Amino acid sequence: MSKILIVDDELHIRLLLQQTLEEFEEEGVELLTAENGEEALQILQEEKPGLVFLDVMMPKINGFEVCKVVKNDLGMKDVYIVMLTAKGQEFDKRKGKEVGADVYITKPFNPDEIVRKARDVLGNQLS
Amino acid sequence: MIHVSLQRLVLKNEVNYIISQITGLINTPVFIQDAEGMALFGEIDQYQPFRYPVEIDNKTIGWVGGGEQAAVLASLLSCLAKQELEKKSIGREALEKYKEITLLYDLAEKLTASLDTAEVAQLVIDEAKTLIAADNNSVMLVNEETGMLEVIASSGKELHPGEGLKNGTGIAGSVVLTGRAEIVNDIPSDKRYVPGAVRVSSLMCAPLKIKDRVIGVIYISSEDPVQYTAEDLKLLSAIAFQAAADIENARLYDSLKETFLTTVYTLAETIEKRDPYTGGHTKRVMNYSIAIGKVLGLSDTEIGRLELAAMLHDIGKIGIKDRILLKKGKLTPFEFAEIKMHPIYAEEILNHIKHLRDIVPAVKHHHERYDGCGYPEKLRGDGIDIKARIIAVADAFDAMTTDRPYRKAMSLQIALEELWANSGTQFDPEVVRAFFEAFEKDELLVKKGW
């Protein structure tokens, strides 16, 4: 079963993303959430989601570090990681590339864009 | 319609754990099935007489079976399901609001990028259309001079750009006066309503405000009766708030641009006034140049610069003494050398003005010749700024067709023949060709009496 992990320290963003991705739940995809980097790493290893929406700005372990651990240290190169970055804060593309992030989307995100991205990624993984 | 799946609820880790704990406590086998009878937990016992419904708002979404104690579990699941439903409906509402925010955010970005009033107004309408259901949308602005409320941009059949309402009349006019947004869901019974091109049933109108001043309104209406809500009006007001600032910004830019152009034009006319023979010369050279530029397919920005350059092409003559500039007889070689300085003087003047520096090549080189025998730098061919090549043709044509201190105007036919004869030597042949094309299409506004 495909799984999507949502990682953000802000409750409302987690809820909005869950709501945005609700249609996938209807199709049998499991939606998981984590509210910090540590929890995200734990869930990533236990549940092995295929797609992660990962907030960059989080206290303690930030999104870049989570991404780096997952893609390099844990060697989970197949996980598709979408970095979420706040508008106004210039996304460090070089760093994103360095840690192996697949793509980034700015907040406030456009829900349709999130759904399209998830469809693209999960569509590929299912086939 | 939002629905809650009992299956998904039961499968949730924490819920599953609690169910196991409770079934352990009540010490009898328990099973849970969905509304269609499929087992979700435990094994279904066909002969079990006790089955309790799991309900949300009196709708059964599944059953719990297994002794009287199973009733507790059914109530617990009903309660959890109800909470799940509430969470989902709040989530859905929040997502709708979030979508609106994203759209407003996009709108704000697009609007700040534009400095054209009509374009800003059109963007506002496009955005309002995606957010609120309506047949007709328009942005109207108060014209301080005429006192009219003018339609700047619109969609739908009710109102069109260029149309206007006398300020203070109609519902839109009333919104301008009060500065308060309004919903009218029953238009026929509203006495203020002024019927327009189509019959409409419901409308919303929000003021475009800069501080306490109302500069116009955004107006939407529906032909079919709909009930616009306070939420819709709040959204329209949010769009209006953003739009007002950007429309004002664009208007200030427009007026700044106009002030600049008027100042430059006045300057050009003042210079022209010194030489009574050249009355209207600047204006005509501008018109000819723009017409040629359009045939040649210059961009709007380039046409704008061409207009300025044509307006100022003789500004350097301000540095030529009256004795020489206004001399009726033949000029001595020394005097002619002085006249030939005017493009250089122009460069010196224009270099002082930041916004005019980029038209220096167009002004400085309007006396260069295509074959390289002109002045002041003897540039040739494509080495001469295209705007200068255009002004050269326009300037020569006007000089030939108007009276000068030393000769009468040539006939139109001779002037045209003269342009043709000098195409490729004095003038860029492409520009001459464009001149004739514009002439054929009557775009030069020349009287064609032969």
Residues of B designated as active site? 317
Q: How far apart are CA B118 and CA B124, in angstroms?
A: 10
Question: B238 CA to chain A: closest CA distance, Å?
Answer: 17
**Cross-chain residue pair B92–A20, CB shorter than 8 Å:** no
DSSP string covering B379-400, please?
--GGGS-HHHHHHHHHHHHHHH
Range of the domain at B46: 6-92
In 3D, which of B255, B275, B272, B353 has the Cα closest to residue B313? B272
Distance (Å, rounded) from C-alpha A92 to C-alpha A97?
A: 9
Domain count, chain B: 3
Cα A123 versus chain centre, distance: 16
The H-or-E segment that residue B254 falls in is helix B230-273
CATH of span A3-126: 3.40.50.2300
Are residues B427 and B359 part of one domain? yes
Residue A90, pLDDT > 80, answer no
Edge-to-edge strand ranges of the sheet holding A30-34 = A30-34, A3-7, A51-55, A80-86, A103-107
Residues of chain A with Cβ-Cβ distance to B92 below 8 Å are 19
Residues B325 and B432 reside in one and the same domain: yes
Looking at the structure, tell me whether residues B210 and B348 fall in a common domain: no
Q: Are B328 and B411 part of one and the same domain?
A: yes
Does B433 lie in the same domain as B285? Answer: yes
**Residue B256 domain-assigned?**
no
For chain A, domain boundaries: 3-126
pLDDT tens for A5-63 read: 999 999 989 989 999 998 898 888 989 999 999 999 999 999 999 999 999 999 889 99
To which H or E segment does residue B218 belong? strand B213-222
Distance, CA of B121 to CA of B114 (rounded, Å): 10
**Chain B residues close to A18, C-beta within 8 Å:** 91
Is the same domain home to B154 and B240? yes
User: Which pLDDT band, with edges at 50, 70 and 90, does A70 fall under?
Assistant: very high
In the block, which residue shows the tokens 């204006």?
A: B283
Burial of B387 (0-12, 13-18, 19+ CB in 10 A): buried
| Same domain for B232 and B323 | no
Contacts of A22 in chain B (CB under 8 A): 88, 91
Same domain, B221 and B301: no
Q: Global pTM?
A: 0.59
What pLDDT band is residue A126 in, cutting at 50, 70 and 90? low
Q: In which residue ranges of chain B is pLDDT below 70?
A: 276-278, 446-450
Residues B205 and B345 in one domain: no
Residues B423 and B295 in one domain: yes
| Residues counted in chain A | 127
Instruction: Say if B253 falls within a structural domain.
Output: no
SS3 B215: strand
Q: How far apart are CA B450 and CA B440, in angstroms?
A: 14
Helix H, strand E, coil C: the string for A30-48 is EEEEECCHHHHHHHHHHHC
Q: How far does Cα B214 stand from its chain's mean position? A: 20
Residue B368 inside a domain? The answer is yes
Is residue B264 situated within a structural domain? no
Is residue B263 in some structural domain?
no
Give the DSSP letter of residue A69. Answer: I
Partner-chain contact A108 B88, CB within 8 Å: no
- CB pair distance less than 8 Å for B102 and A22: no
ipTM topping 0.85:
no
Q: Which CATH number goes with the domain that contains B217?
A: 3.30.450.40
Residues B38, B71 within the same domain: yes
Å from B315 to nearest chain A CA?
47
Give the three-class secondary structure for B233.
helix
Q: Are residues B181 and B82 in the same domain?
A: no
